[in-house]
C-alpha cells in the first residue's frame, strides 16, 4: 500500500514537472493558470489531466482537437514515478528520501528543458546548490552525502573545473564551448555528493555523450562542432556514478 501511495505522489509530481518544463523556458509562472492543449489552447479538464492514465484513455490525443499529445508528458510522469519508488525502496521513510526526491524531480525538469532549449535555468540550479550545502550540516544522513567541508570543496571544484574548461576553450577556439549552466550543474553535484564525484561524473557524462553522437557523426548528420545539450548527459552520468559509487570510490581508496 505504501508503494502505491508513493507511485501516485511520484506521478503527480511528474505532472507538475511537465508544467515547469513547458513554462520555465518561456518565463511563465509555474503555478499561474490551468493547463491547456498546446495545439488548440483549450483548457484541459481534471479528468483529462490524470497522470499517465488520461494519456492512455485518450489514446494520446487531445479530447478537443484530436491532435496527438506529446509522449514526453507521459514519459516525464513515468520517470518521476519510477524515481520516487526507487528512492523510497532504497531509503524508506527518511530525510534522505525527501532530499533525493527533491533532487530527482528537479533533475528531470533540467533534463528535458536542456534537451529542448539548450538552457539550464538558474532558478533550478541555485536552490539546489544552497540545499546541497545546507543538508551537509544535518546529522545522520546517508553516507552518500558528504560533510560540510567536502560539500563546499565539491561545489567550488565542480564549478571551477568546468569554468576553466570553458575559459581555455574560448581562448583557443575563439568561441563558446560548454555553457555556464553546465558549470552550475556540476557545482550542484559537488555540493550534493562531494568533490570525489566530480571527476567520475565528468568522465562518465563525456563518454555517454560521445557514444550517443557517434552514429550521427558516422552518418555526417552532425559534426564535432555541432552544439549538443550536455545537461542530460551530466544527469545520466551522475545516476551511473550513484549506482556504482562504491566501485568508483574503491578506485581511489
pLDDT of 165 over the 90 cut: no
Mean pLDDT of the chain: 88
Q: Which pLDDT score is estimated for 89?
A: 95
C-alpha 235: how far from chain center: 6
Q: Look up cell 510522469; give the residue.
A: 77
Does residue 119 come out as left (phi exceeding 0), alpha (psi in the -120 to 50 range) or beta? beta
DSSP-assigned beta bridge partners for residue 68: 61
Q: Is the pLDDT assigned to residue 77 strictly greater than 60?
A: yes
Please report the pLDDT score of residue 206 as a whole number: 92
**What does the block give as the cell for 244?**
556504482
The single residue listed with the C-alpha cell 525538469 is: 109
Per the CB < 8 A criterion, the answer to whether 117 and 25 are in contact is: yes
pLDDT at 225: 60
pLDDT at 252: 63
Quick one: which of 89, 90, 102, 92 has its CA closest to 130?
102
Q: What is the mean pLDDT of residues 217-224?
A: 66
Q: How far is CA 214 from CA 111, 211, 217, 219, in A?
A: 21, 5, 5, 9
pTM assigned to the model: 0.92
Neighbours of 190 (CB within 10 A): 30
Average pLDDT over residues 162-185: 82
- Reported as a pLDDT band with limits 50, 70 and 90, residue 220 is low
Mean pLDDT of 128-156: 95
Q: Which of 122-126, 129-133, 216-220 has the lowest mean pLDDT?
A: 216-220
* Residue linked to cell 567550488: 156
* Contact indicator for 151, 172 with CB cutoff of 8 Å: no
Task: List own/partner pairs for 141-148 with CB under 8 A and 24 or more apart.
Answer: 141/95, 141/96, 141/99, 142/91, 142/94, 142/96, 144/96, 144/193, 144/242, 144/245, 145/96, 145/99, 145/192, 145/193, 146/193, 146/194, 146/195
Lowest mean pLDDT among 5-9, 71-75, 118-122, 177-181: 177-181
DSSP code of residue 33: S
Amino acid at each position: 500500500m505504501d508503494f502505491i501511495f508513493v507511485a501516485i505522489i511520484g506521478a503527480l509530481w511528474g505532472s507538475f514537472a511537465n508544467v515547469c518544463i513547458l513554462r520555465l523556458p518561456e518565463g511563465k509562472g509555474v503555478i499561474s493558470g490551468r493547463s491547456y492543449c498546446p495545439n488548440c489552447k483549450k483548457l484541459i479538464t481534471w479528468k483529462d489531466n490524470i497522470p499517465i492514465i488520461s494519456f492512455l484513455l485518450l489514446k494520446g490525443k487531445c479530447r478537443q482537437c484530436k491532435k496527438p499529445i506529446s509522449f514526453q508528458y507521459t514519459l516525464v510522469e513515468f520517470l518521476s514515478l519510477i524515481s520516487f519508488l526507487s528512492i523510497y525502496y532504497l531509503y524508506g521513510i527518511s530525510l534522505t528520501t525527501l532530499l533525493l526526491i527533491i533532487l530527482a524531480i528537479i533533475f528531470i525538469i533540467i533534463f528535458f528543458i536542456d534537451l529542448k532549449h539548450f538552457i539550464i535555468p538558474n532558478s533550478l540550479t541555485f536552490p539546489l546548490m544552497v540545499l546541497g550545502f545546507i543538508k551537509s550540516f544535518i546529522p545522520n544522513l546517508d553516507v552518500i552525502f558528504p560533510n560540510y567541508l567536502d560539500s563546499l570543496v565539491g561545489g567550488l571544484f565542480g564549478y571551477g573545473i568546468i569554468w576553466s574548461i570553458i575559459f581555455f576553450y574560448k581562448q583557443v577556439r575563439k568561441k563558446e564551448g560548454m555553457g555556464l549552466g553546465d558549470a552550475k550543474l556540476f557545482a550542484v553535484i559537488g555540493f550534493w555528493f562531494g568533490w570525489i564525484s566530480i571527476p567520475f561524473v565528468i568522465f562518465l557524462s563525456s563518454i555517454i555523450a560521445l557514444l550517443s553522437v557517434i552514429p550521427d557523426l558516422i552518418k555526417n548528420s552532425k559534426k564535432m562542432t555541432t552544439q549538443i545539450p550536455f545537461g542530460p548527459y551530466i544527469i545520466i552520468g551522475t545516476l551511473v556514478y550513484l549506482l556504482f559509487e562504491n566501485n568508483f570510490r574503491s578506485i581511489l581508496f
